[in-house]
Amino acid sequence: MAKLQAKNPQVSVDFGKNYWPSAADMDAIRQEDDWLHVAEKHFSVDNIRKYFARSPPLSAQDADGWRPREHVAFLFSEDDEEFHNLIRKHMVIPFITDDFFPGHNDEVAGGEYSASVKPNAGGAHIPNARGAPVDADVRGIVIGSTWRRCSASRAVAESSLAVADYLLGQYGNFLQFAGQKEGATRCAQIVQLLLANHVDHDVSDPLVAVQLDAAQWGKQTYYRPAKVY
């Protein structure tokens, strides 16, 4: 447990929301035509169905044991519009609107954290382990909610083009890697970016490469308490 705590320092989840819209503001936004268009187009039953149907086969189960393709996609196999709209309304949209049924609030989870013990190669000491044994290591694993992943994927699909256009217009050294799978090419592009700007390098104000990963959206605010197995 000491090693797990050392790898995962506890921080406050009391976010500074000074610049966040209020609940009343969000209610007003969701009555506007722009939001209704977004909800109808990007969070439609058809797009939700496609997300689950195109998920990799035999992917990992989520915290509740659901596999997106084997279990959830099957729910859309029948032509039951009413049932599919209920899935959209109660399982996917709440992660976007933060409007969960009060009786289910304790079950809301962006991910469930667990940990497994594994041999520590070579017996190397783990820093900041507070005297924990050195012959074993722990590996923390976050099991994400299938429903949250679906809502996150649809949210990224809706906003990615606008975000990319903004960043490309604001920053001359912004590189977009969306869709790339080959790591060597990505690394080469980052190195080239740093070398091209090396003339501006200063030890007191060093050059850095910052990765912005929209796919990680929504993981932080809905965590269940950690379970260690």
pLDDT digits (tens, 9 = 90+) for 121-138: 555 554 544 444 555 677
Which of the four pLDDT bands, split at 50, 70 and 90, describes residue 169?
confident
Which of 158-162, 172-176, 219-223 has the least mean pLDDT?
Answer: 219-223
Dihedral sign for Cα 90, 92, 109, 140, please: positive
Q: Which two tokens stand for residue 172?
A: 């001359």
Average pLDDT over the chain, rounded to whole? 77
The domains of the chain are located at 2-7+23-173
Question: Is 87:75 a contact under the CB 8 Å cutoff?
Answer: yes
pTM value is 0.68
- Distance in angstroms between the alpha carbons of the first and the last residue of the chain: 11
Residues 189-226 pLDDT 10s: 778 877 877 777 777 877 777 776 665 444 444 444 33
Share of the chain above pLDDT 70, in %: 76
What is the Cα 87 distance to its own chain's centre? 20
Q: Which of 83-87, 158-162, 169-173 has the lowest mean pLDDT?
A: 169-173
pLDDT at residue 134, rounded to an integer: 55
| Burial of 38: CB neighbours in 10 Å, binned 0-12, 13-18, 19+ | middle
Q: Is 93 helix (H, G, I), strand (E, B) or coil?
A: coil
Average pLDDT over residues 169-187: 72
93/88 Cα distance (integer angstroms): 6
Give the pLDDT band of residue 180 (cuts 50, 70, 90): low
The amino acid at 106: D
Whole-angstrom distance, CA of residue 50 vs CA of residue 154: 11
